[in-house]
Amino acid sequence: MIKPLIFLSIIMLVSISLAACSTNQALQASEPEPKSVGETNENEHDQSFVRTIDGLVPLGDVPIPEDNPMTAEVLELGQMLFFDPRLSGNDQVSCATCHDPELGYGDGRATFETYTGEDGPRNSQTIINSAYYTSFFWDGRAATLEEQALGPIQDPHEMNLPLDELIEKLKGIEGYEALFLAAFEDGITEENVGKALAAFQRQIVVKDTRYDQFLQGDKEALNSQEIRGLELFSGDAFCITCHNGENLSDNEFYNIGLNSDDEGRYAVTGDEDDLGRFRTPSLYGITHTAPYMHNGSIETLEEVIEFYNRGGDGHPNTSIFMNMFMSNINLTEEEKADLLAFLKVLGGEPPIFTEPDLPGSE
């Protein structure tokens, strides 16, 4: 007997797929009548066009926890900590090592380089728009951005510095005590390190792309090819099934059929259904964050489209929606080009933060 939860999931996925297909029809139906000679706005759509795209909304303001306001003092401290290699055991690795602003806040590698110089198990996921997630890391093992910020510091494969040693180290660096006290009443603590780093990361946002402008009613924001790509994204290509909501991520976990030995979400939950599942990443900033997937195994957006077009690579625990509706999408070459054109709109321009003068440095 199928478990009730699985049955409900199937019903929901079927509903989403039907909604995606009807969305595509609604988009096409809302196309304006051909214009007479002299009228040049070939992409004009009325406001009803924008409202028909269920599940897609412009990116809103960054959620900020009440206990961690983004004051100037906290942000200044967070930026210093983010770029300071002394947060590692060997004084060589900073947060920016794997999250380089010039590399889309990733590292440009398939998988990160470990503390000992070997290839790590996973891709350094960009922190662009990470403030909008409801769980963190590829497998969702952290519940808050503050918790996530402390994880790599103490991980022996990443920065390799126990948090108690970090606190003593920071207390011994001239200038940090005053900076912490300016930002937090209780000064240098593990919690405040996490808060400062999380607050800094909440500034790393790509928003107000031409896609957002289009959803807000700017009829000129997308050209005709990009609009066709959006129609595919919202319909026949099924992208919207997982990449929906204001951050283009449903914050859920899926096995997309990528051949990999990584246990994914299973390592967190122990549930066999979660084997090989990973959280849906946002698509904002996507043109800056190659290579793609949790193991960095796909180098270009063109290859990402090909991967989904063929329905993945047959992982035995591939999520049910992939098997039911995306086993073979069969996009034409023109459709692939249209979808790619739309995805490139989502790249936007990430804010670039540079390394400040660090406390105690000569």
Classified as helix, coil or strand, 241 is helix
Q: Which residues make beta-bridge pairs with 100?
A: 106
CA-to-CA dists, residue 353 to 128, 147, 167, 350, angstroms? 12, 22, 25, 9
Whether residue 221 contacts residue 211, with contact meaning beta carbons closer than 8 Å, is answered with yes
Q: What are phi and psi of 110, to 5 degrees?
A: -65, -50
Return the H-helix or E-strand segment holding 121.
none
Of 178, 174, 321, 171, nearest to 252 by C-alpha is 321
Q: What are phi and psi of 253, to 5 degrees?
A: -120, 135
- Catalytic one among 39, 73, 76, 158? 158
How many whole angstroms separate alpha carbon 336 and alpha carbon 38? 32
* 263 given a catalytic annotation: no
Structure tokens at 2: 């199928």
Greatest pairwise CA separation for the chain in angstroms = 74
Burial 37-70 (b: 16+ CB within 10 A, else e): eeeeeebebeeebbebbebbbbbeebeeeeebeb
How many whole angstroms separate alpha carbon 102 and alpha carbon 95? 13
Whether residue 326 contacts residue 305, with contact meaning beta carbons closer than 8 Å, is answered with no
Cα atoms found within 13 Å of the Cα of residue 295, Cβ hemisphere only: 14
102 alpha carbon, distance to own chain's centre: 17
CA 80, 86, 92, 93 dihedral sign is: negative
The residues annotated as belonging to the active site are 158
